């Protein structure tokens, strides 16, 4: 990846983030505190896609920064990927809320919000073209694989995502944190299995690229 290519990707993402920051396609565009576009390496090999911003993310304008974000960082670190080496975003860029007696509670994004916001996610995928997309939680999985996707039965399997990108689905860290005792241990174990598949896929794709480069290299020096 050349410095020019990296800079071009940064500029493309900044342009899209600026448009998203002014977006009011959904009602939640008026209730959000901050638009949470996404962050990370524009040349990341791994893109993590969650559901949508929660309270802390809305407050700070950054994805996955609450307790669930800390767990995500630990999960990534367990497969030797520092958070800053991945690109992290959500299916929707504004916090979806329910007003319960003046107190806003998080809710899952509705289909119209996900459809409205999809062009921003598509643009992120188009620009970054990661090797692997890791969709966390049912809403993120359904946004790629359709409304019938059942996360407990269909996670942990490789799917073909946009542009043929390898797509893995696992549990959202917030879901893991809502479990307790044996249930939490069981869910963590399954998530770890999924993460190891992601780690192995990234290694496999990197090895494939090195092999191709090694074969192509002599040709570069042919007279």
Which residues contribute to the site for ligand SF4 (CB under 6 A)?
Answer: 20, 23-26, 28-29, 35, 92-94, 113, 116-117
In the bound complex, what is the minimum distance in angstroms from residue 175's beta carbon to ligand SF4?
21
Q: Quick check: 58 and 32 in contact, CB under 8 A?
A: yes
DSSP 116-147: HHHHHHHHHHHHH--SEEEEESHHHHHHHH-T
Name which of 40, 38, 26 is nearest 63 in CA terms. Answer: 38
Shortest Å, Cβ 61 to ligand SF4: 12
Give the nearest residue (CB) to ligand SF4.
Answer: 29
DSSP state of 157: S
Query: Which of 27, 207 has the CB closer to ligand SF4?
Result: 27
Rg (CA), the chain: 18
Please check whether residue 90 is in contact with residue 38, taking contact to mean a CB–CB distance below 8 angstroms: yes
How many other C-beta atoms lie within 10 A of the C-beta of residue 152? 10
Closer Cβ to ligand SF4, 5 or 14, answer by number = 14
Let me know: does 140 contact 49? Beta carbons within 8 Å. yes
Residue closer to ligand SF4 by CB (options 117, 198) is 117
DSSP state letter for 163:
G
Smallest gap from residue 122 Cβ to ligand SF4 (A)? 12
E-strand spans in the chain? 39-40, 46-50, 87-90, 97-100, 103-106, 132-136, 159-160, 166-170
* Min CB(164)–ligand SF4 separation in Å: 25
How far apart are CB 146 and ligand SF4 at their closest, in Å? 20
Structure tokens that stand for 160 in this block: 């073909």
Minimum CB separation of residue 159 from ligand SF4 in Å reads 24
* Residue (45 or 93) nearer to ligand SF4, CB: 93
In the complex with ligand SF4, the residue whose CB is nearer, 50 or 76, is: 50
């Amino acid at each position: 990846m050349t410095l020019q290519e990296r800079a071009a990707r940064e500029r493309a993402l900044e342009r899209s983030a600026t448009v998203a920051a002014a977006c009011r396609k959904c009602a939640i565009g008026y209730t959000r505190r901050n638009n949470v576009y996404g962050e990370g390496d524009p040349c990341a090999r791994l893109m993590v896609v969650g559901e949508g911003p929660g309270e802390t993310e809305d407050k700070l304008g950054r994805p996955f920064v609450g307790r669930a974000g800390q767990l995500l960082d630990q999960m990534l670190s367990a497969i030797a990927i520092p958070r800053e080496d991945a690109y992290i975003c959500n299916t929707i860029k504004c916090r979806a809320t329910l007003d319960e007696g003046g107190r806003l509670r998080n809710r899952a994004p509705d289909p119209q919000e996900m459809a409205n916001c999809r062009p921003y996610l598509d643009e992120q995928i188009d620009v970054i073209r990661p090797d692997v997309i890791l969709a966390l939680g049912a809403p993120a999985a359904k946004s790629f694989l359709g409304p019938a996707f059942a996360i407990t039965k269909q996670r942990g399997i490789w799917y073909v995502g946009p542009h043929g990108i390898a797509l893995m689905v696992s549990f959202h860290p917030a879901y893991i944190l809502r479990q307790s005792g044996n249930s939490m241990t069981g869910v963590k174990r399954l998530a770890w299995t999924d993460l190891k598949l992601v780690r192995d896929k990234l290694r496999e794709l990197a090895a494939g690229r090195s092999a191709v480069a090694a074969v192509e290299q002599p040709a570069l020096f042919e007279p």
